[in-house]
Amino acid sequence: MSTKDVSSRERQGKSPMTFSHAVAMTVVGVVGVLIAFWILSSLAGIFFFFVKLAVIIAAIAGVAWLVSRLRH
């Protein structure tokens, strides 16, 4: 294989993947997954907070309604 063939392959983006490139891609993938998991868990936590808040408000309203019905 001549030098011309190697440089031609590199210009076309078909150079073989090096070990450091594979490690870098793996690290970027793992960091991306961790960030996505953190964001999704934060969103789920906010969602469940509002669900719990709605249930508490509904329970307080239900008790208040029941007490007002029993007084009359």
Count of structural domains within the chain: 1
The pTM of the full predicted model, rounded to 2 decimals, is: 0.55
Does residue 11 register a pLDDT over 80?
Answer: no
Q: Are 65 and 71 in contact (CB under 8 A)?
A: no
Does residue 51 belong to any structural domain of this protein? yes
Does residue 3 register a pLDDT over 90?
Answer: no
Q: List the domain range (segments joined by +) for residue 52.
A: 15-71
Does residue 10 belong to any structural domain of this protein? no
Does residue 20 belong to any structural domain of this protein? yes
Confidence grade of residue 1 (pLDDT, cut at 50, 70, 90): low
User: What are the CA-CA distances from residue 31 to residues 6, 21, 25, 38 (Å)?
Assistant: 33, 15, 10, 11
Residues with Cβ within 8 Å of residue 15, at least 6 apart in sequence:
9
* pLDDT at 58 (0 to 100): 97
Does residue 6 belong to any structural domain of this protein? no
Q: What is d(CA 7, CA 30) in angstroms, rounded to the nearest whole number?
A: 32
User: At CB < 8 A and 24+ separation, what contacts does 59-63 make?
Assistant: none
pLDDT tens per residue, range 12-70: 667 778 989 999 999 999 999 999 999 999 999 999 999 999 999 999 999 999 999 98
